[in-house]
Structure 1
Amino acid sequence: MSSSFAATFSLDPSKFPYTKQCIATKRNARVSLQNQLFFDLVLAEVARIPESSRLYPPRNTTDLRNLHEAIEGCAVDLLKKQCCIYYILRDWDTHTEYAEEQLIPQTYCALMDSYWYLDNQKNKEALNSLLTPGLTPNFATKIMSTFERAGDHSMLVTYVQTMQNPLDTEEKTRAYLKALMRVDVSRALFFTRTTTVAPRQSLFNEVVDHAKTTKEGVDTLARFPFDVSEGQWAFENLSRTPGPGMEALIVRLTMMGDTSAVIKLREKHGGGKPDLNNALKESLHSAEAKLLQRS
């Protein structure tokens, strides 16, 4: 056994941390994490304890004892049991002493710290803990989606690039791309060239659609070095409707000397049929002026 119940938890009612407010906060956190805390996953997939979400948070000492017994009685090795107890003791703020007494390796403490921070919606602290050297967290997809839903895009990018976990599913790829395009459109466009787990054109258009909504993104679209396929996809996307995207396209086409395409765009979207020089001059100056206004 990792430890007895009485030796692990204080039986003083005044020290019981799971107040009504605490329980409500943890249940709300579970909802925000798609109805599954990271600790629920640890109990279910690592400790193999069924119906784990019903055990935590405990409402009273009896519930706590049942949780402790479920962990002690599960068919996993001692270290995994100790890690589960360590997580619970974070709520009691006695986790450090427990880790020292049980000689839990630092990387395992950091792993459980990470999950506790994520469950308590402390993503900055979670990221710092996740980046502990030698740490290999489980549940990479859920970690990424947690950062994504919280709008912590730079954290998601940092996590993926530092951990170098393979983006081996379309879900992971799109989650990373969604964050990366909000950090740097150019890097996101280059990234679409490197992945094979999702249709490249679909990923490309996702970045372009986002880029059209920001000043920096529109400027990037006007000047990014598209390859042949990307150039065709960009033209199809940006030429659909007037707006910032089309302004970027006009600047691109004019700088490339594709005068006929500029004229056709103007005619298609109500620009009339002025002579070639006036069309180019008006198109370029108007588009560049609007781009500059967004700078």
Structure 2
Amino acid sequence: MIEIKDFKQVFNLPPDHSYSEHLHNEIIKNRRILDNKLFFDRLVGVLQVKTSNLYPPRTINDLKELHKRIVSSPIALINKHCLLFYLLKDLTPSIHSENEIAATFARAVHLPNKFWTFLEGLWALDRLQFQTATEFLTHPSLLPTFPEEILDVLLKHAGAAGSGRGKDEALALAYYHTVQPPLKSEEVRERFFAYLADRSVTNAFYFARARPQDEQRRLLELLISQTLQSFSGEKRAERGVELVDLPLNVEEEEWLEEFLLEGKGRNLHGARDTVMMRRIATGKLKEAVRDGGVKGRKFDDVNWEVVKDGIGRGLGPRKEEETFVML
């Protein structure tokens, strides 16, 4: 068993070996990318270990001071083991990696596998190794820790929302479905919802409907906004059709019309067109015929006036009757 208060027993390093300038700069760079907060920073913050500006350490003396603050902190022994393991992970790639010093330390202090797995995941996140991080952090043995923060990092940096990282783009979805973070943070919730809407209007709609009632209207409005303004060309047309075909209930239908006709969505491209298409698709033909707010350019000699005229002739005297809805 290692005596963790003995620096030399924990950091079994060659003489004068510490964090290289390259490693130090890489960690600082990654911290900036991750909104100036690594998951190591979150760990020491939660544990209230006063590391000051010692991480990443520049010199062997900085590392010794960081070690001293960790082992002298009034926290559980296993938490000290976790923080020391993380630091040893930093140094592993540059020291006889065939006998990985972090793994050797973990075995020597009998670090439970679930803690080991969790720390491997956090360390990989801090190194922007998102695929590896997700594999560790979705392990079934783990209790969710920092779940929304982890999801947010994946959303912003692992290929989500058009960052172009290819295969990493689906990691946020995989993490969400496995861990089921509660999404209490409005910012993270809306970022994840925008990510879902970018992938599928229909799936985003059912996600919104499953959320607590006080969130649903806001999410539906976000879905409408993103569908009408975040795409162009054929993709916009496809998403528009998907939006029009959503199985909205009466209350959701009212939210859509209020948002697009009277609310903040009224200036969105195709706002009134979307309402008109919904009315026709759902059989609200009298409202469609009487809507004087849509005209539009002609396409192949057809615009909304032509369409409304055709519907009106088809309805005949029924135009004056109460609205009927096709089921």
Query: What's the TM-score, normalizing by structure 1?
Result: 0.82
Q: Equivalent of 1:130, from 107, 131, 137? A: 137
Aligned twin of 1:223: 245
Q: Structure 1 residue 173 and structure 2 residue 189: aligned?
A: yes
User: CA distance change for structure 1 residues 120 and 202 in 2, over 3 Å: closer, same or farther?
Assistant: same
Aligned twin of 1:150: 157
Alpha-carbon contact 1:40-1:53 (below 8 Å) kept: no
Query: How many residues were matched structurally?
Result: 278
- For the residues of structure 2 that align with 1:203 and 1:232, how far apart are their CA atoms? 14
Aligned twin of 1:102: 109
Map Cα deviations across residues 236-295 of structure 1 (whole Å, 9 max, x no partner).
Answer: 3445357455554443322333334434556445568558444789xxxxxxxxxxxxxx
Alpha-carbon contact 1:148-1:156 (below 8 Å) kept: yes
List aligned pairs for 1:204-223, cutoff 5 A. 204-212=220-228, 213-214=230-231, 215=235, 216-223=238-245
Alpha-carbon contact 1:201-1:233 (below 8 Å) kept: yes
- For the residues of structure 1 that align with 2:292 and 2:14, how far apart are their CA atoms? 78
Q: Find the residue that maps to 2:4 and give its secondary structure.
A: coil
Identical counterparts, % of pairs: 24
Q: Tell me how large the CA RMSD over aligned residues is.
A: 2.8
User: CA distance change for structure 1 residues 7 and 273 in 2, over 3 Å: closer, same or farther?
Assistant: closer
User: CA distance change for structure 1 residues 263 and 24 in 2, over 3 Å: closer, same or farther?
Assistant: farther
Aligned twin of 1:43: 44
List aligned pairs for 1:48-63, cutoff 5 A. 48-50=48-50, 52=51, 54-63=53-62
Query: What's the TM-score, normalizing by structure 2?
Result: 0.75
- For the residues of structure 2 that align with 1:207 and 1:116, how far apart are their CA atoms? 34
Deviates more, 1:245-254 or 1:187-196: 245-254
- For the residues of structure 2 that align with 1:142 and 1:177, how far apart are their CA atoms? 15
Q: Find the residue that maps to 2:173 and give its secondary structure.
A: helix
Q: Structure 1 residue 2 and structure 2 residue 33: aligned?
A: no
Alpha-carbon contact 1:38-1:116 (below 8 Å) kept: yes
How far residue 174 of structure 1 moved from its aligned partner, in angstroms, is 2.5
Aligned twin of 2:323: none
Alpha-carbon contact 2:118-2:137 (below 8 Å) kept: yes
- For the residues of structure 2 that align with 1:198 and 1:252, how far apart are their CA atoms? 24
How far residue 105 of structure 1 moved from its aligned partner, in angstroms, is 1.1
Q: Find the residue that maps to 1:134 and give its secondary structure.
A: coil
- For the residues of structure 2 that align with 1:62 and 1:264, how far apart are their CA atoms? 79
Alpha-carbon contact 1:111-1:137 (below 8 Å) kept: no
Q: Find the residue that maps to 1:161 and give its secondary structure.
A: helix
Aligned twin of 1:285: none
Alpha-carbon contact 1:266-1:272 (below 8 Å) kept: no
